[in-house]
Amino acid sequence: MTTDHSPAPDNAYTAYIAGLPRVLAGAAALFRDAGGKVLLVEPNYREGWALPGGTVESDTAETPRRAARRETLEEIGLDVELGRLLAVDWVHGEARPPIVAYVYDGGVLDDSLLKSIRLQEEELLSWRLVPREELPTHLPGALGHRVMAALDVLAQGQGTAELENGHRVG
């Protein structure tokens, strides 16, 4: 049994932590079919399409990888071990705090897994497989750029894309 001997935070440290900027974290999985089409979901709570994924839950000390897997199971009914981190994107906020978005490789889904998809009806209207050239139509802005960068990383076979508002940096 170990005992934590660290001192209790003092008021100055507590005030310092409370004054730090807040950042939201989201995580998603990039799934493809055998032909390279990307699986997108259509949320019912906002316009447009997205990758299966969602917000990292800070109250459970959830990691981004675990969040992507949990959200995939909740949203489309697939419990899939996710592959490597493909992209990380810092998205500036205007009416909300900034978001750090993680995209993991969900792999290639065979026909049996595609047929087993079950949508979370409380959040999703539908799903579809979209070819790369049509992704900008379905995923405008930073999300579209993020998914394209993740696909580029997959094609190159190595690395992780570091992004700001969907655009590569570094």
Could you tell me the CATH number of the domain that includes residue 148? 3.90.79.10
Domain count, the chain: 1
pLDDT of residue 170: 78
CA distance 55 to 46: 15
Residues 99 and 97: their CA atoms lie apart, in Å, by 7
Is 90 exceeded by the pLDDT of residue 40?
yes
Average pLDDT over the chain, rounded to whole? 92
Over residues 42-56, the mean pLDDT reads 94
Place of tokens 């690395």: 159
pLDDT tens figures, 5-24:
555 567 888 888 888 878 89
Q: How sure is the predictor about 2, in pLDDT bands with cuts at 50, 70 and 90?
A: low
Answer yes or no: is 14 within a domain. no
Is 41 inside any structural domain? yes
Give domain status of residue 17, yes or no. Answer: no
Amino acid at 149: A
Read off the pLDDT of residues 86-117 as tens digits, 9 standing for 90 and up.
999 999 988 888 999 999 999 999 999 999 99
pLDDT attached to residue 14? 87
| Residue range 25-39, pLDDT digits in tens | 999 999 999 999 999
Tell me if 111 is assigned to some domain. yes
- Is the predicted pLDDT of residue 1 greater than 80, yes or no? no
Handedness of CA 77, 59, 143, 36 (dihedral sign): negative
Question: Does residue 13 sit within a domain?
Answer: no
pTM: 0.89
Instruction: Determine, yes or no, domain membership for 50.
Output: yes
Instruction: Report the percentage of the chain scoring pLDDT > 90.
Output: 76
Specify the pLDDT at position 9: 60
Q: What is the model's pLDDT at position 20?
A: 81
pLDDT of residue 17: 82
Is residue 8 situated within a structural domain?
no
Residue 90 lies in a domain: yes
Contact 92, 17 (CB under 8 A): no
Question: What is the extent of the structural domain holding 163?
Answer: 23-168
